[in-house]
Amino acid sequence: MATKSGFLTEAGNGGETHRHEPQAANPANDHLTTNQGIKVSDNQNQLKSGERGPVLLEDFVLREKIFHFDHERIPERIIHARGSAAHGFFELYESLSDITKADLFQRAGEKTPVFTRFSTVAGGAGSVDTPRDVRGFAVKFYTQEGNWDLVGNNIPVFFIQDAIKFPDLIHSVKMEADRGFPQAASAHDTFWDFISLMPESSHMILWAMSDRTIPRTLRNIEGFGIHTFRLVNAAGQSTFVKFHWKPKQGLASTCWDEAVKIAGADPDFHRRDLFEAIQRGDFPEWELGLQTFDQAFADALPFDVLDPTKIIPEEILPVRLVGRMVLDRWPDNFFAETEQVAYCPANIVPGVDFTNDPLLQGRLFSYLDTQKSRLGTANFHQIPINQPKCPVMNFQRDGQMQMQVPKGRANYEPNSLADQGEITGPRECPAHGFTTVAAADAPTEQGDKLRIRPASFADHYSQARMFYRSLDVAEQSHVAFAFTFELSKVDFAPIRTRMLGNLMNVDPDLAARVAGGLNMPLPAANDTAAPVLDMDPSPALKIINGKLDLHTLKGRSVGILVADGSDAPTVEALKAVVTEAGGLPVIVAPKIGGVTLSDGKLAKVDKQLAGFPSVMVDAIAVILSDDGCASLINEGAAVQYVMDAFGHLKAIAADGGAQPLLNKAGVVPDEGVVAPNKGFVAAAGKRYWDREPGVRKLPRAPKD
């Protein structure tokens, strides 16, 4: 007979069995518990040996929470589901044998195969490429001593300090649980509720609201390993290291309005751009940079190098460029390679080692577990894209989708079957195998078992303040706009107020801009756990007018709008100078079948005007005859083409016949509006941020 579910207990009265229903939740007395009903005393910190020591495997609260989170979705990645990847190589500039025994860092000029995947974080595999979001930046090095996965983001810090909070962070930013939206967006209540309650997120959220999270292309992003790692040399000496990827194409972002319109015009914009750049031989390239330092340097800093919400400014510790990565081949099959590639920060090689960064320690467990769940077998390392390019020999056997056919009787070690003439299998390699570094420079490795965060992690605002004050004034306006836009989507007013209180600790000017944009009173600053320091600005953090703002046309595209009767010599000359500068000229016309230029010849058209708005290119040229302009001036797509290019601060070249169209589109002459000659190349390599106040309203600093 069917019965109601509940708990069975023996009553002891003649063997009679009673059912006791679970107690109903009492909102006034709810307690966080494990899935076994055990109350959780601390949901903020992992269990560590000493306040700065390693995380303990016995932490069943962490393991259950991360384990359940890793298995929430199949088969799509829970995060970083929307990704694009490419094959390539890493080439070392100079030997690094003095600081690491890692094989790929020994011989100058040697090339190591790589497979690199870029991704958004919040959206599903079918979401668009251009939301405001962090970008994943994961590199798999196929070294001669095994695979090394450097798994990071395009931002050098993270939202949280302890991995036990990762499921909460992702739950908050994903689609809200009761309604299933928004997709690939952080502008909603649950995300900002979490962020406003987690001051440790302050630094990362400033980066997230900056132009870093609306990049122009994947080729124009930096990459970071985020955590502090160790390099270990042949003598066993270790050096702290932070990893950086610097784009040879320069840093470049979009305007918010442009990012929104790209999503509508081409949801695959970043993926298509990466694909087309590789196909035409314009191979994306990054340089690998290292910040290396010792314990004494770390001890002298006003923050903890094990805190993943902190950076070491490049002005304090310069980045040493040690090699380059070139992506030169698109995958043969998207699913087999890009979708099935499995990265794990625990995949390291001799010469690279971990630190006790509590976020990193949690990631070492989580990635392996989630890949097994997603790919359905413990043998996912045998999928071709995940296979090392060096010999793999061990006694791991069987399991789903086992592709190897091990020979011999022995599937254990040690064994003595050699005496019987049998295959005995591999043995340990003390001389060259991976050994964990003895952290003699980390005296806090011993200690009581504690759920605690060290006092050195308590400053949540100083670096957020440094980041904001390091930006160009235009970028500061964009940060204020992003906060205003996102918080305007938050329905619960106390969340907005709490967030403004956090921003007061970052910068009162920023808080005032956002409060003004929301038409809300400016609250007092929220309490802080540590004094907020005024650190020196770091110019290296700027995109606009920063050292990676290259002002070049190389690798960028120019849309040349033409119609019947456009001057053929001007069009051909413009194509030539753009190509000579390393740019890509794209002929845009009302009809894809071709256009008859002034020489009477039918010219090839690359893109149809109605399906290729100017958000798809980096600059435009408009070459029209009087009749051609008359035919387009009442065409909405043509007017919008020019209007958007001007509004998105791009260079515009135009001849005399195009002037009526420019006038109708509201183009105001400035240094970015030029004639279609060789001077256009210099103009087309940058954006005109001084134009911005005249074309859109951004949150302003309050007047005195």
Catalytic residues: 80, 153
Burial of residue 58 (CB within 10 Å: 0-12, 13-18, 19+) is exposed
Q: What Cα–Cα distance (Å) separates residue 262 from each residue in 268, 497, 641?
A: 9, 32, 13
* Side chain identity, residue 134: V
CA distances to 43, 161, 163, 301, 526 from 65, rounded to whole Å, are 10, 16, 10, 33, 30
Q: What distance in Å separates the CA atoms of residue 628 and residue 35, rounded to the nearest whole number?
A: 70
465-501 core/surface letters (b: 16 or more CB in 10 A; e: else): bbbbbbbbebbbbbbbbbbbbbbeebeeeebbbbbbb
CA angle, residues 548, 551, 552, in degrees to nearest 5? 105
CB 261, CB 272: distance < 8 Å: no
The residue count of the chain comes to 704
Q: What is the DSSP letter of 360?
A: H
> CA dist 431 to 146, 390, 434, 509, Å?
16, 18, 9, 59
Quote the CA–CA distance of 220 and 290 in Å, as a whole number: 19
- For β-strands 449-451 and 352-353, DSSP reports them as unpaired
Helix (H, G, I), strand (E, B) or coil at 648: coil
Contact by Cβ (8 Å): 78, 47:
no
Q: Are 323 and 91 in contact (CB under 8 A)?
A: yes
Q: What is the rounded CA–CA span in Å between residue 583 and residue 558?
A: 7
What's the rounded Cα separation, in Å, for the pair 650 and 683?
9
User: Measured between alpha carbons, how far apart are the two ends of the chain, in Å?
Assistant: 78
| DSSP secondary structure, 627-653, as one string | HHHHHHTT-HHHHHHHHHHHHTT--EE
Residues of the chain by 3-state class (helix, strand, coil), percent to 5: 35, 15, 50
> What token pair was written down for 465?
């303040």
C-alpha count within 13 angstroms, C-beta hemisphere, residue 238: 20
- φ, ψ for residue 362 (rounded to 5)? -70, -35
Q: Are 331 and 86 within 8 A, CB to CB? A: yes
Rounded Cα distance between 519 and 464, Å, is 24
Alpha-carbon dihedral sign for residues 596, 602, 605, 611: positive
CA distance 499 to 566: 54
Angle at 214 between CA 244 and CA 465, to 5 degrees: 65
